[in-house]
Structure 1
């Protein structure tokens, strides 16, 4: 069934998790540094998405200030990619941030993460700034995607007051 299902015809259950260990493979799929993942898990909230008892994705939200939150990690199980799960997770993250009183939701991704840059922009995020050399300074091993070295973090922001059109 997983090969044929899409989020348009299933109902994902999204809930906050206390223990990250069962989800570490998924988290590391989106961020290759166990140390970085553990660091933001200490201050963030991990959410899992399940369908019929199967974990299909995760995301981590972290409070940054009075009205700003950050999506630190979002990952979809490989067999569920391309089925709308990522969009459902991002929508859930946006709604969760809104429930917490956030006005802005940031997400950072690599300069080499072409698909992710397109995904966030299609969902209403706007480029805000570039953190130069973020990945070369904070990750022990070079990261390459799409034949490009991941050096800089592109920070995108979703204005939670501006739109519900995502």
Structure 2
């Protein structure tokens, strides 16, 4: 972790950082479908106390969490902070004795695919027609309509590995 930043659990009495969450999800309504069941972590600048990153993590079952949202403020992107947040999540999940972390992203989100694969995630499964069935209007990225959600998984090391 860069020394200028800390990652902390977001307090339930703090406002939900929708401005950041909307960088990675299309609508507030979509975020509201999952956010109440998530643990939110924020990346905070130590000096300014500005929240520059966010992660929303949902427990799927006893051995798996899903990263529902991760975003870094535009001016702080491409500095390794997203990877730092993923490293934090991996450590946190390891401490919780979890076996894997899932993250879903659009079938046409090629930059996101590279980001997750660079951070050790591998393609796991597809949620067919996810973006067609869950969003009222078509969403275009990279000149293509989002249709399917690709789910990547990171398998955590266990004592038996």
Verify same fold: TM over 0.5: yes
1:88 counterpart residue number: 84
Aligned to 2:22: 28
Match of 1:112 in 2: 108
C-alpha contact (below 8 Å) 1:20/1:46 kept by paired residues: no
Alpha carbons 1:28, 1:34 under 8 Å: kept: yes
Equivalent in 41, 53, 62 of residue 35 of structure 2? 41
Q: CA deviation at 1:161?
A: 1.4
Deviates more, 1:54-63 or 1:90-99: 90-99
Distance in 1 separating the partners of 2:26 and 2:14? 15
Give the equivalent residue in structure 2 for 1:142.
138
Which stretch shows the higher mean deviation, 92-101 or 27-36? 92-101
Judged with a 3 Å threshold, the aligned counterparts in structure 2 of structure 1 residues 29 and 20 are, in CA distance, closer, same or farther, namely: farther
Structure 2 gaps of 5+ residues are: none
1:116 CA displacement? 0.4
Q: 1:156 aligns with which of 133, 152, 158?
A: 152
TM-score (norm 1): 0.88
How far is 1:21 from its partner? 3.2
Q: Specify the alignment match of 1:13 in structure 2.
A: 6
Structure 1 distance, partners of 2:120, 2:4, is: 23
The alignment's TM-score, normalised by the length of structure 2, stands at 0.90
In structure 1, list runs of 5 or more residues that go unmatched.
1-6
2:70 maps to which residue? 74
The ranges of structure 1 where at least 4 consecutive aligned residues each deviate by more than 6 angstroms after the TM superposition are none
Deviation for aligned residue 1:55: 1.3
